[in-house]
Amino acid sequence: MFTASLALLPLISVASAQLVHQVIVGSSDLTKQLTFQPYALAAAPGDVVQFVFQQKNHTVTQTSFDNVCHPLLDEYYKPVFDSGFQPVAADQKDDYPTYNYTVKDTTPVWLYCQQKGHCGQGMSSNANARSASAC
């Protein structure tokens, strides 16, 4: 009986494993436009969204659907979550900086880059916004 219980342990850990969703922050290789790739994703509570910063200087900052391009502030007037600026040299080819965000629930989370002018050029994104394509 003890041996049978041990045999089930790998199945239990696989069944409860959370996903890591990778999002590229910065210039798209194909279009050279400032983007988050993918633009939208669906993530379960406990999943991790790993933001990988590309060349230039970007942030991942929480915003709201109603006030995109402005940080969503907590009761202390600080961004709810913010990666801070992540500068990456134009000639850098690997070891890109990352920022991990653990999803707390399925409430939609809206994001943008605080670098001046980037949000207006398309650097906004979302997680779990079920109606994002209708917006």
Which CATH number is 22's domain given?
2.60.40.420
- 93 belongs to a structural domain: yes
- 10 belongs to a structural domain: no
The domain tally of the chain equals 1
- 116 belongs to a structural domain: yes
- 6 belongs to a structural domain: no
- 57 belongs to a structural domain: yes
Cα–Cα distance, 112 to 8 (Å, whole number): 43
Paired tokens of 97: 């900086």
Confidence band of 68 (pLDDT split at 50, 70, 90): very high
Tell me: the pLDDT tens digits for 82-134?
999 999 999 998 999 999 999 999 999 999 999 999 999 989 999 998 744 33
Alpha-carbon distances of 87 from 14, 39, 56, 61, 129, rounded to whole Å: 36, 21, 6, 15, 28
